């Protein structure tokens, strides 16, 4: 809509052979600026943390994955997360309870002071020693692997995934053993490739699921301008 308002005067005043090149040039120039402002990418880069355009916390997944998740209903859901931070706060606003693990002690001390009551955060070793005991026999509707030993975390968490749940693996490139094992177990996968908040290079966030995943129920309709997250 913004582009239409910008181009409208040129279209009215100039003949087509003049305004069309202008429109193409303006589209090429303005689109990157619109993207970085709409998504909060510019603000995230300056603040060195993942935020939306209004400064609210968002996960450090690819924008396409965040857009996919943002209008889903997670009320009543239990979430398991490996690697805490902005994503923990984002999930805490949407789910019933989130269990999160962090290996960096200084970061754990910092973020644990900022979390609401529905966040259960533990400082653990990078190799996940003791994590299985903390999880116990609990199951989770959503599992996020975005830190620690990601391969080990995927394998440890998969048996605790609810039947209709989903497991997210961020920065999924190079995790061939995870892909192979989940394929062998009959899990399906969605790849969300693109840019994430405040970073230069694109990467991939993968969503693994079994049959009848609740995220794929098709509830609700597509919405425009998902940049607010």
pLDDT tens profile 173-223: 999 999 999 999 999 999 999 999 999 999 999 999 998 899 998 887 777
Is residue 7 very low, low, confident or very high in pLDDT (cuts 50, 70, 90)? Answer: low
- How many angstroms separate the CA atoms of 159 and 108, rounded? 26
Q: Which of 10-19, 30-39, 187-196 has the lowest mean pLDDT?
A: 10-19
Could you please state the CATH topology (level 3) that the domain comprising 63-228 is classified under. Rossmann fold (3.40.50)
83-93 burial by CB neighbour count: b if 16+ within 10 A, else e?
A: bbbbbbbbbbe
- How many angstroms separate the CA atoms of 90 and 55, rounded? 12
Pairing of β 97-102 and β 78-82 = parallel
- How many angstroms separate the CA atoms of 85 and 57, rounded? 9
CA–CA–CA angle 172, 222, 45 (5° rounding)? 45
pLDDT at 178: 97
pLDDT tens profile 86-104: 999 999 999 999 999 999 9
pTM value?
0.86
Q: Where are the domains of the chain?
A: 2-39, 63-228
Nearest to residue 59, comparing CAs of 32, 122, 72? Answer: 72
Whether 22 shows a pLDDT value over 90: the answer reads no
The residues, ordered by sequence, that sit 6+ positions from 117 with a Cβ below 8 Å of its Cβ are none
């Amino acid at each position: 809509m913004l582009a239409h308002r910008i181009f409208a005067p040129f279209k009215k005043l100039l003949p087509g052979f003049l305004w069309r090149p202008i429109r193409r040039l303006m589209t090429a120039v303005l689109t990157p600026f619109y993207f970085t402002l709409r998504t909060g990418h510019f603000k995230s880069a300056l603040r060195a943390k993942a935020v939306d355009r209004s400064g609210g916390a968002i996960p450090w997944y690819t924008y396409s994955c965040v857009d996919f998740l943002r209008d889903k209903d997670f009320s009543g859901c239990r979430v398991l997360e490996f690697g805490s931070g902005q994503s923990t706060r984002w999930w805490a606003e949407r789910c019933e309870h989130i269990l999160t693990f962090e290996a960096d002690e200084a970061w754990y001390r910092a973020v644990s002071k900022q979390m609401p009551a529905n966040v259960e955060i533990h400082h653990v070793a990078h190799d996940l020693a003791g994590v299985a005991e903390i999880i116990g026999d609990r199951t989770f509707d959503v599992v996020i692997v975005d830190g620690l030993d990601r391969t080990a975390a995927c394998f440890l968490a998969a048996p605790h995934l609810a039947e209709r749940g989903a497991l997210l693996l961020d920065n999924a490139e190079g995790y061939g053993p995870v892909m192979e094992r989940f394929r062998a177990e009959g899990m399906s996968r969605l790849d969300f490739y693109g840019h994430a908040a405040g970073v230069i290079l694109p990467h991939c966030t993968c969503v693994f699921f079994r049959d009848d995943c609740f995220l794929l129920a098709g509830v609700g309709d597509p919405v425009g301008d998902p940049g607010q997250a």
